[in-house]
Chains A and B, each alone.
Chain A
């Protein structure tokens, strides 16, 4: 069994991370009835007995003493991390896992990446090493940060390149929160594009999440739960936005949105934690969904968003769950995959679902989904027998689809609008180590990426014949 380490950077990264740990504890408490520290728990938590010598590490199989998250928390302001340490999750983190400063990055990627990146390089590497050493077999780093600010975006991407340098064989999956067009941070396009270059070059997979999509999902659920019609009452703890049953007693403003992202992470790791008839390990995700090294942006889509409380209503049909996964309302970025081109698609199913259900739905949905010519049956499937809390089954779809192109083009446009006027550039350029070339190179990187997607898109309309086969001499 393998372990993963979560590295949460910046305000957004830490808020999402915090929700993740809360929900992870809830999920394991739900499944782990005997209080034993099992393999599943050990994938994200250490078990520590303070009475034991030598750090007190406990092996798998014993009773749960104190669970400590396999995490590194980094923020250049103190507010969020201190909030976590004063909250109900304080026991889950060791002070050695934290790195904070006081002044923040002023929404400036260069401050995060270069100033703090250099100042704290050794400290960060030490903390990462420590976390890795506690792992028997470290498989993956999950990095969580936003793109639009200064710390998450700048320092987060610096951490990403440190991870590649220090742990080249460990998979790097980044959950990146992209700002909406209406974002109130004026320089967010700069920060995002500068960060994107790093993601393209150093990440194995990126799960882009757009704030606006999260807002839409929260509103949708809100509407459902205020709908007093009989048969429409939601099971409160089953919503993908709910933190109920977790450690934290009250929900704070962004909690609902952050819970969605936390659920994404729980689902993506479910098959490597729990048993199933068709396991899907984390290293299989990159292998199957990334046909070309830079095209590693995967559109996540989660269903169901909630389950209905009324037991007289038959359980939402399984097939509906599959259809929903391909509807725009369940995606975590605003894009239109059905009208773009699928390069590959993974379906991670949890709960009481069998292979025939999977086959039936793939056959049903396949005709309406355009796949690239050389990957007509490009499905990667996984069946995990343990469902999420409050559900009998769930589905996470990860699509490598050219529909990310418009999202990136929009980002590039917002960047260019500012860059043409050299607006706010001086804030960046006066940072030690920051050159104007960083801007132009990041822009080129983004354009090259868009071009690659564009190239593939162009094949969509054309009927590509089979490649001529090798002819064998008789």
Chain B
């Protein structure tokens, strides 16, 4: 089953290119033919000349980054992007979510949908879409949200898994919190699952674990690509009966708490353990069958109304991933993102209280009401997650 990746904005196009690079070199470097075939089928298509072309649509409102990503891919010699799989304009979205969502999105809807359709037609069986974007800027966040909505409308039976990069807390874009709030509030209604990488955390990985001295965005993007690849590459799941699972993401994230919660509101700072709703543990490489994973089934980790054996999914692949003899990836639906999310909402709310920058959004079609709706949605999410026990 195939996945169509949609790379949106500068971040999306930079991360996407690194992701395909990781997947391609992982798939090709391996002596397990089945793994290689499944992986290639999932993310690439083979041209008549035997070259690998990524199943990807590249979207940006200005051309520099797409040009760079496409030529970087071609230079690798191992894979490339389709010649006509990209859409760009001349002028960016100016870090303005409203410009992306209200103006660029609708204006270019037909062209983008056409690109999607062509890519989908190349798939024997479409599993779903992975839009890759940042939340801080204007195109990734605004156009990305609009495109996600289109995908939802046109392909209702395919999954949509959004990969989001959250910016550094200390600021890359001044209005990043506004853009993030607007994006997340909308995606919550549209997306099947949202996978998040925070630049601050990835930066720490680069400096503390990888000991990189002068960290560049390439380094950051490569770590993200590695982790994302670790999630998306083929695995054997309990349900797939000895074959590689056909779905890269098969968890049902849609959980609802039981009604009538009796006075259990917990404050964020109550030093609470990071409670999980669900965890996906993926093991790759040597000794996957003998690894001890009991700790992940401890009921203390999970919310009281979900039994651990339903909440934990365990996938394995005996094939080493990206040259790591053994690797493990944990995808967690838990309170881990609560603090960063709350910080983001708090800062955005403070700015909104003074009405700073609002005129820039109103200019393109987002009203104060729209802002309030988004804030309300996110406060509800924060509240639901805070109350997990």
> What residues of chain A have their CB less than 8 Å away from a CB belonging to chain B?
1-2, 39, 136-137, 139, 275, 277-279, 281, 283-284, 286-293, 343-344, 354-357, 359, 362-363, 366, 373-381, 383, 466-467, 469-472, 474
Please tell me if the beta carbons of A470 and B90 are within 8 angstroms of each other in the complex. no
Please tell me if the beta carbons of A289 and B174 are within 8 angstroms of each other in the complex. yes
Please tell me if the beta carbons of A279 and B64 are within 8 angstroms of each other in the complex. yes
| 7 nearest A-B pairs in the assembled complex, by CB-CB distance | A283-B94, A137-B90, A356-B215, A379-B171, A467-B353, A291-B356, A377-B171
Q: Which of A39, A362, A381: most chain B Cβ within 10 A? A: A381
Beyond known contacts A284-B173, A355-B216, A375-B174: 9 more, CB 8 A cutoff: A139-B91, A279-B64, A290-B357, A356-B214, A362-B170, A362-B171, A375-B351, A469-B349, A469-B379
**Does residue B218 face the partner (Cβ distance < 8 Å to A)?**
yes
**Does residue B365 face the partner (Cβ distance < 8 Å to A)?**
no
- Residues from chain B with a CB closer than 8 A to the CB of A355 are 203, 215-217, 220
Minimal beta-carbon separation of B34 from chain A (angstroms): 37
**Does residue B192 face the partner (Cβ distance < 8 Å to A)?**
no
Q: Which of A137, A279, A281, A366: most chain B Cβ within 10 A? A: A281
- Residues from chain B with a CB closer than 8 A to the CB of A286 are 94, 360
Binary interface encoding of chain B residues 155-175 relative to chain A, with 1 for a CB under 8 A from any of its CBs, else 0: 000000000000011111111
Give the complex CA separation of A471 and B168 in angstroms.
Answer: 27
Give the complex CA separation of A278 and B215 in angstroms.
Answer: 14
Give the complex CA separation of A279 and B173 in angstroms.
Answer: 11
Interface residues in B339-366 by Cβ distance below 8 A to A read 345-347, 349-354, 356-357, 359-360
Minimal beta-carbon separation of B295 from chain A (angstroms): 33
Known: A288-B173, A363-B170, A375-B351. A470 touches B216 (CB 8 A): no
Please tell me if the beta carbons of A469 and B65 are within 8 angstroms of each other in the complex. no
Interface residues in B356-389 by Cβ distance below 8 A to A read 356-357, 359-360, 372, 375-376, 379-380, 383
Minimal beta-carbon separation of A284 from chain B (angstroms): 5
A-B contact count (CB 8 A): 141
Contact of A356 among B138, B203, B356 (CB under 8 A): B203
- Residues from chain B with a CB closer than 8 A to the CB of A137 are 89-91
Known: A466-B350, A470-B379. A374 touches B216 (CB 8 A): no
**Does residue B107 face the partner (Cβ distance < 8 Å to A)?**
no
Please tell me if the beta carbons of B379 and A472 are within 8 angstroms of each other in the complex. yes
**Does residue B95 face the partner (Cβ distance < 8 Å to A)?**
yes
Minimal beta-carbon separation of B352 from chain A (angstroms): 8
Minimal beta-carbon separation of A319 from chain B (angstroms): 13
Give the complex CA separation of A376 and B261 in angstroms.
Answer: 37
- Residues from chain B with a CB closer than 8 A to the CB of A291 are 354, 356-357
- Residues from chain A with a CB closer than 8 A to the CB of B62 are 1-2, 279, 281
Give the complex CA separation of A278 and B41 in angstroms.
Answer: 33
- Residues from chain B with a CB closer than 8 A to the CB of A380 are 95, 171-174
